Amino acid sequence: MMGCEKENFSNNNPYLPNYGFSVNINMNLPQFSNLQFPSNAVYINNGSAGVRGIIVFNTGGSYVAFDAACPNQALSSCSTMTLSGINAICACDGASYSLFTGQAAGVQYPMKQYRVEQLDAVSLRVYN
């Protein structure tokens, strides 16, 4: 069964708890409409998604979602990442993570990744 799984990633991280959640995104709504275009991201902080909210990104061929918490920092006042084009920046250490891969140079852990299911042309489900 594991061999058939489309997403092949581990989101274990000693700094970030592993919360279960499910969020539906309607890209026809103004706050999510940027996701209809490649290389655009949105930050969603609805209080129940991820540790510090989630970042959803259109790679041009699919969608990826990551936690907005800095993956190499203990939770603190500076550990929520901000969007900067195709990157997410951690204010604590200045690390810049690619939204295509979730990776940053010189750090131990990548961004905590979540599953994304495309429900139809304008609807996504992000879950853990």
Q: Does domain 2-7+21-127 have CATH number 1.20.58.220?
A: no
Cβ atoms of 36 and 120 within 8 Å: the answer is no
pLDDT for res 2: 37
pLDDT for res 5: 44
Whole-number average pLDDT of the chain: 92
Task: Indicate the domain borders of the chain.
Answer: 2-7+21-127
Beta bridge partners of 66: 55, 113
Residue 31, φ and ψ in degrees, nearest 5: -70, -15
For residue 3, pLDDT beyond 60: no
For residue 4, pLDDT beyond 50: no
* 8-12, 81-85, 116-120: the lowest-pLDDT one: 8-12
For residue 61, pLDDT beyond 60: yes
pLDDT for res 12: 83
pLDDT tens column, 83-113: 999 999 999 999 999 999 999 999 999 999 9
User: Per-residue confidence at 1, pLDDT binned at 50, 70, 90?
Assistant: very low
% of residues, the chain, pLDDT over 70: 92
Give the Cα separation of 41 and 87 in Å (integer): 9
For residue 42, pLDDT beyond 80: yes
